[in-house]
Amino acid sequence: MTPPAPPPSGMPLSGSVVIKLGGAALPHRQTVLEDLRRVQGAGFRPILVHGGGPVISEWLQRLGKEPVFVNGLRQTDAETLEVAVMVLAGKVNKDLVAVLQGGGTPAVGLSGVDGGFIRARRQTSPDIGLVGEVEGIDPRPVEVLAGAGYVPVVAPIALGPEGALNVNADTVAGDIARALGAAGLIFLTDVAGVKDRAGNVLPALDRAHADALQREGVISGGMIPKVEACLRCLDRVAQATILDGGQPHAIVEHLLHGRTAGTVFKAPVPFS
């Protein structure tokens, strides 16, 4: 198969692409995973990082426990952590691997605890319980898997000094992309992109504009860690995108055809 020409978006064709699949997008996972197979066949090495927040919340409510969030991050006590590990590293991760395998794409599921490839310390500002702040990423496990033709499927559970810690999946995706020096970072979401004060989707965004929108409360809640992850990785990643997962085959359209439904963050200087 001859890879298509580089898309007009400026994204390099080939190389690792970290794709964060949000929990809200899990019902559409068949289409998403079909896109992963197509971009892998075109020469990219996709690495899938998944959330599972709605599934965690559902299981907590079954236990009679109401989920609590602070600045878009889940407050996590010992019981919540047990549920998060079981849901993320267990059910959600293995369901995604099974769908990929069933479609003929080799995939391996892992969490940051495996090989200690995501290391974290307990977050203290704000203190929201057993939530980790990433200290370091050893990209070798995902590099080896992706280089061998597997799609790594990563659950956002990190290794802390005293055991597992729950880590925001958006942050994990950005830190993995940065550690890899990936060709791109994509957040597949259930919104159309980052919006301005009038509610219009911004096709592009930089640090100064993002900071202003966050101060004004326009960027808030779960969008905050996505935007921060995009901006933070740009010293080593050429392009980061918050992509509208409601558009059919949004990943293929973005990576292979340069048609982006969402908001793009680009490095300030061209990468060689």
pLDDT tens digits for range 162-176:
999 999 899 999 999
Is-catalytic flag, 170? Answer: yes
Return the CATH number of 15-266, one of 3.40.50.300, 1.10.1050.10, 3.40.50.720, 3.40.1160.10. 3.40.1160.10
Is-catalytic flag, 20? Answer: yes
Q: What's the pTM value of the predicted model, to 2 decimals? A: 0.87
Is-catalytic flag, 226? Answer: yes
pLDDT tens digits for range 192-237:
889 988 889 999 988 888 889 988 889 987 888 899 999 999 999 9
- Given the residues 53, 132, 160, 262, the one annotated as active site: 53
Report which residue type is found at 3: P
Strands 69-70 and 132-137: unpaired
- Given the residues 22, 23, 174, 245, the one annotated as active site: 23
Strands 157-160 and 262-266: unpaired
92 contacts 66 by C-beta, under 8 angstroms: no
> What are the sequence ranges of the domains in the chain?
15-266
- Given the residues 22, 35, 51, 170, the one annotated as active site: 170
Is-catalytic flag, 23? Answer: yes
- Given the residues 20, 109, 112, 174, the one annotated as active site: 20
> What three-state secondary structure class fits 160?
strand
**Minimal CA–CA distance to 262: which of 183, 200, 180, 175?**
200
- Given the residues 184, 226, 244, 245, the one annotated as active site: 226
What strands lie across the sheet with 151-155, from one edge to the other? 107-111, 151-155, 44-50, 15-21, 184-189, 239-244, 262-266
Question: Chain centroid to CA 173: how far?
Answer: 4
